[in-house]
Structure 1
Amino acid sequence: MQFYDIVNSNFSQYYYTFACSLPIMSDQIKHECGVAFIRLLKPLSYYQKKYGTALYGLNKLYLLMEKQHNRGQDGAGVATIKLDIEPGKRYISRHRSMASNAVADIFEYIQKKFADIQKETPEKMQDAEWLKENVSFMGEVLLGHLRYGTHGKNSIENCHPFLRQNNWMTRNLVIAGNFNMTNVDELLQQLYDLGQHPKEKADTVTVLEKIGHFIDTENQGLFDQYKREGLDDNIEISKLIANDMDVAKILRKSAKNWDGGYTIAGILGHGDAFVMRDPVGIRPAYYYYNDEIVVAASERPAIQTAFNIPIEEIKEIRPGHALIVKRNGKVTEDMFSEPMEKKACSFERIYFSRGSDASIYRERKQLGRLLCEQILNTVEHDVKNTVFSYIPNTAEVAFYGMVEGVHKYIKKYQRDRLLNREDKISEEELTEVLCMAPRVEKIAIKDVKLRTFITQDADRSEMVAHVYDTTYGLIKKDADTLVVLDDSIVRGTTLKQSILKILDRLGPKKIVVVSSAPQIRYPDCYGIDMSRMGEFVAFEAAISLLKDAGKEDIILGVYQKCKDSAGLPKEKVVNYVQAIYEPFTDQEISDRIAKIITPKEIKCEVKVLYQTLDNLHKACPDHAGDWYFSGNYPTPGGNKVVNRAFVNWMEGKNQRGYM
């Protein structure tokens, strides 16, 4: 089905169904942004002839964006550039939307440009060159973006792609990205020093203007060179500039002082394009190309699905490198910044990225398996009186792995019981041993139709308690232990206000809440919307323990060190907040978290277990980025951000630790 067929269908029903299938966890975190890039390497007529439509690129862009819908529902945008267009004709098109179904809204807008043609002169829909000449968005270079908004900054002006316009074709720039810079103040100062006056204090503006500045510099340098060589024809010089621009050099100069996590895609007005990835490899980026197309995206399965490409043919853009596609179709992967130790974001694997990626699916199952020893020890290996379940829906794959781990334990138990006996086993005992199996049930159910629209706080709290429902009749009252698996426990609010209350109604002896991620202790500053210390129940637990132990001096000492480090260069700053957690074991903090999230009115005991850092790295060996768990930030700016976040918390400032 092509995008112009889909957009004519009943959107409200389609998107309600789609939204209900999106991942849900007890503490929902805003998703990452998503990038989709396509460069058609053949004339549009080629795709008309081979695939039956000149809209091949738009159709594929639509698919790439829909298959990454999980990465942002707050807005979207599309930009295209036409190659080899005569002066005086529009060659850059852009449209952005903040509609609840933003991707569909954008492509419905584009589809309308073809509706009258299809109705009045359908033969022109078969004329690729006519469409390119007369209809916007019929370009060979296409860029799409999905975004989420942070801290209320959600307006059409914040939606990517961003456009830097100029009357010189080679000075135009379109960018879109999944990124966050930690040192915006420093980057802004550099722009001021260049004589610029940015209109906004935001990393998107600094990135756009920094790249734009060096595009201008490259243009002027080439122009001066050709003039020195005796060329007087400015039209010819413009063509030479378009051919000879060194995109890798522009990116090297632009990114020299960037500190952050990023995948940034850009298109220059004449058709050169790039997709660049940060030197640590924090944000994901994948690509594929053949003699027809070049495609890049934030998620590998999106490329696999949209183009039916085997997984082994899709490559990952290396940290510190940029995929560069020249106007003439030449494709290279060039280094623009010295790669550092790779610290790809592990939260991508636990939660953000689509679980349909083969590697991510295996890793999430392994996360579940590696929790089994902790879980079995906590329930004292009483599998007979334990029910295993999960919080819908993103914990489901890890749950499969956990159940496999329990099955493995049971098989070992059966083997030991049957082989290591001196006496003959009775038929009754044999039947009991052979019938032993984990009790696996779907206990918690998300009621997606319920909306907490009542404004009064008391009423809202009452409504929140009913967002989840439960399956009755599966728990033996006062006898069973209920184990529920979640992706992560960030704030613990939904557990306290809703989930634990409804599970307690079932009458379990004990509830064991298990997180497939380690304790989230520190803010993220590379794109995830977890930026304030007070949001983390692990931090609340540590502060509570320090106060109970009479160790407030540690809190004040960390505060003073963070304040004193504020004026230091980021390279000299360390993470002083780690001292908050040092006096306590992981289990002590977990036990205090259990106390914090347990509602006063429930009857059963609540226990909380977290994944260990060691097991996280075993499950996700190629994604070692764990700063939100360990406090070990991969860039100097991260330490500055966590210290600022702690100062903000101490001073009662409800703001993030970065710009």
Structure 2
Amino acid sequence: MLTFATSNQDMSDAIKHECGIALIRLLKPLSYYQEKYGTPFYGINKLYLLMEKQHNRGQDGAGIATIKFDVKPGNRYISRYRAMGSTAVADIFEYVQKKFASVQKAFPEESKDTQWLKDNVSFTGEVLLGHLRYGTHGKNSIESCHPFLRQNNWMSRNLVVAGNFNMTNVDELLQQLYELGQHPKEKADTVTVLEKIGHFLDDENQDLFDQFKKEGYSNVEISSLIAKNIDVSKILKRSAKTWDGGYTIAGIFGHGDAFVMRDPAGIRPAFYYQDEEILVVASERPVIQTAFNIPIGAVKEIKPGHALIAKKDGTVSQEMFRQPVEQRSCSFERIYFSRGSDADIYQERKELGRLLVPQVLESVKNNIKNTVFSFIPNTAEVSYYGLMDGINTYVRDFQKETLLNRSEKISDEELDEILSIKPRFEKLNVKDAKLRTFITQDADRTDMVQHVYDTTYGIVKDHEDTIVAIDDSIVRGTTLKQSILTILDRLNPKKIVIVSSAPQIRYPDCYGIDMSRMGEFVAFEAAINLLKQRGMAHVIDEVYQKCVLSMTQDVNEIENYVKAIYAPFTDEEISEEIARIVRPHHLKAELEVVYQTLDNLHQACPDHKGDWYFSGDYPTPGGNKVVNKAYMNWIEGKNVRAYFSN
């Protein structure tokens, strides 16, 4: 079977992330947008913008769904289309656009009438939902693409759901569905969420039906009364009562009520904007600013444990469905996943780079003259600017202090030497985005990986200069070992310092990032090596026994026993072992690996304290169970995730 190497990763160890959402609720009739913006397809055009601007959040597949209000019986009111692959967003909207174009060509006069369009053309609804997906662990099919649809002949029992989430307790949620009498078709958190909300939506419908039936209304009258009186908040409270995970989940009921709910710890992001024309929700703030040309202050966050609810009558409210806990928003959103065009994220990434300056200066022994500073393309560029600012500040302070505090007269030569100190900031690595070479053998594949990056020659002084290269994060270390270090070594530096703007990744994520197996982390490999080297291998088995025992404990009593693997060592000791692990056997230069500290991370991103992948401090009880299970899987040689997800 042919495989190919491709330069499609932004940092040295690309991490997949799921997912991105976009929801639009038009608050005016379609005719309003036709008159003001010159198109009846205003909503679908904006949905395309929101999704394309969040393409970074999912390139395995995508999907959209729309719902029309007040459609006559017998006419379709839910439209959905999904596609696979990295061009899924473009494919979906090309499909929709072709439908619109063919209708306009066949019915040129009728298509000027927005009501006719709504009656006869799909994807012309008032509520629009889009989703971008990253599949994890290879499970990737059209059936796995959101939005998911739960259908029923009763309009108000139909449910469309899409989300950015992982649940840690799928087994428990499935058991609850069995006890309710349901039989879900597969074991996946998306299915359990859909069916759980759907069950309580059915309950609400039945309760209202019984109530209005007793009051003497006809079945036709009852249908509209149910749609008007459904308590969305009540449904969500009952549905999410036992969920353990990180989630932003968007949903639409068939009659038109819509909601977006965010987990109690605010792990996954959710932003919204509302004016008299529109309500819009997305996973990232800048995409809303760009798509609607609005200032940063107009975009708000959905509060943790709350749902933004838009009733069919246009009423919008934010209501609590679970008691919020300490906010632990994902810090990886700030370091890497979210687009750096967000005003706050841009400054935070710069600060991450600036805060690394003392560690970097120590690594190069303050020898600015013989150091070349660079970065690993592409997303580390902003933290690199922060590093540049910090180094420049250091040089200015050094020059100022030297000149002001010198007691004796300074010679012209000395003055020239001090004033000539100028940091060297260069782009040494360039990604070859066109490199896509079909290969069959592992040896060939390794050789191709070594050429994913091109390098800039003629800048580094042979065996004299140190190269400092900053990266977003070092997860597995494979690209460092197979590609980047080899390429940098060709420049003949005396030393290479690889700097991570994120701390050491030590623990799996279970809330929506594709980092779920202990063996994937070079920091974990380093700690295991150190335990063996220092005669402490017994710790490995002791931790395993505690993890096994924890599987029988109440989830609220479980601790993260894997912390004991790292406890005997300092961060610096683990970094030294990581440098040894990622060092290619042919490397001539000295090598050092420097990581961001946890304290600096919190200083740079004070409002996003979710750091469990670095600290092991999980924001939900299920996280501790997952990390212990992940460790058990590693010991037992099971190359699987420690939780179920779609």
TM-score class, shorter: over 0.9
Q: Residue 166 of structure 1: SS of its match in structure 2?
A: coil
User: In 2, distance between residues paired with 1:435 and 1:120?
Assistant: 73
CA RMSD of aligned residues (A): 1.0
Residues 156-167 of structure 1: matches in 2 within 5 Å?
Answer: 156-167=142-153
Residue 205 of structure 2 is matched in structure 1 by 219
Residue 3 of structure 2 is matched in structure 1 by none
Residue 133 of structure 1 is matched in structure 2 by 119
The 4+ residue runs of structure 1 with deviation greater than 4 A are none
Give the aligned length. Answer: 639
Residues 266-345 of structure 1: matches in 2 within 5 Å?
Answer: 266-345=251-330
Quote the sequence identity (%): 72
User: In 2, distance between residues paired with 1:532 and 1:23?
Assistant: 20
Q: Residue 411 of structure 1: SS of its match in structure 2?
A: helix
Residue 7 of structure 1 is matched in structure 2 by none
Post-superposition offset of 1:228? 2.1
Post-superposition offset of 1:569? 2.0
Residue 499 of structure 1 is matched in structure 2 by 484
Residue 478 of structure 1 is matched in structure 2 by 463
Farther off after superposition, 419-428 or 570-579: 419-428
Residue 529 of structure 1 is matched in structure 2 by 514
User: In 2, distance between residues paired with 1:126 and 1:65?
Assistant: 27
Residue 617 of structure 2 is matched in structure 1 by 632
Structure 1 gaps of 5+ residues are 1-18
User: Is the contact made by 1:350 and 1:517 (CA closer than 8 Å) also made in structure 2?
Assistant: yes
Residue 225 of structure 2 is matched in structure 1 by 240
User: Is the contact made by 2:82 and 2:145 (CA closer than 8 Å) also made in structure 1?
Assistant: yes
Residue 201 of structure 1 is matched in structure 2 by 187
User: In 1, distance between residues paired with 2:32 and 2:577?
Assistant: 64
Residue 416 of structure 1 is matched in structure 2 by 401
1:500 partner letter: L
Post-superposition offset of 1:452? 4.7
Residue 511 of structure 1 is matched in structure 2 by 496
Residue 505 of structure 2 is matched in structure 1 by 520
Residue 133 of structure 2 is matched in structure 1 by 147
Q: Residue 439 of structure 2: SS of its match in structure 1?
A: coil
Residue 110 of structure 1 is matched in structure 2 by 96
Post-superposition offset of 1:90? 0.3
Pick the aligned partner of 2:54 from 68, 72, 79: 68
Pick the aligned partner of 1:188 from 171, 174, 180: 174
Residue 40 of structure 2 is matched in structure 1 by 54
1:600 partner letter: H
Q: Residue 567 of structure 1: SS of its match in structure 2?
A: coil
Post-superposition offset of 1:468? 1.2
TM-score by length of 1: 0.96
Structure with bigger RCO (C-alpha 8 Å, 6+ apart): 2
Structure 2 gaps of 5+ residues are 1-5
User: Is the contact made by 1:554 and 1:579 (CA closer than 8 Å) also made in structure 2?
Assistant: yes
User: In 2, distance between residues paired with 1:23 and 1:499?
Assistant: 13
User: In 2, distance between residues paired with 1:99 and 1:448?
Assistant: 18
Per-residue displacement from partner, 1:534-556 (whole Å, max 9, x unpaired)? Answer: 00000000000000001011000
User: Is the contact made by 1:452 and 1:464 (CA closer than 8 Å) also made in structure 2?
Assistant: no
Per-residue displacement from partner, 1:608-656 (whole Å, max 9, x unpaired)? Answer: 0000000000000000000000000000000000000000000000001
User: In 1, distance between residues paired with 2:9 and 2:310?
Assistant: 35
Residue 15 of structure 1 is matched in structure 2 by none
Post-superposition offset of 1:32? 2.8
User: Is the contact made by 1:364 and 1:398 (CA closer than 8 Å) also made in structure 2?
Assistant: yes
User: Is the contact made by 2:502 and 2:601 (CA closer than 8 Å) also made in structure 1?
Assistant: yes
Q: Residue 133 of structure 1: SS of its match in structure 2?
A: helix
Post-superposition offset of 1:374? 0.4
Post-superposition offset of 1:121? 3.2
Per-residue displacement from partner, 1:402-446 (whole Å, max 9, x unpaired)? Answer: 000001100110011100111111122212222222100000111
User: Is the contact made by 1:30 and 1:148 (CA closer than 8 Å) also made in structure 2?
Assistant: yes
User: In 1, distance between residues paired with 2:584 and 2:402?
Assistant: 41
User: Is the contact made by 1:181 and 1:203 (CA closer than 8 Å) also made in structure 2?
Assistant: yes
Per-residue displacement from partner, 1:489-548 (whole Å, max 9, x unpaired)? Answer: 000000001110111111110000000000000000001000000000000000000000
* 1:349 to 2:334 alignment: yes
Pick the aligned partner of 1:461 from 446, 450, 459: 446
User: In 2, distance between residues paired with 1:254 and 1:581?
Assistant: 38
Pick the aligned partner of 1:582 from 558, 567, 576: 567
Q: Residue 122 of structure 1: SS of its match in structure 2?
A: coil
TM-score by length of 2: 0.98
Post-superposition offset of 1:23? 6.2
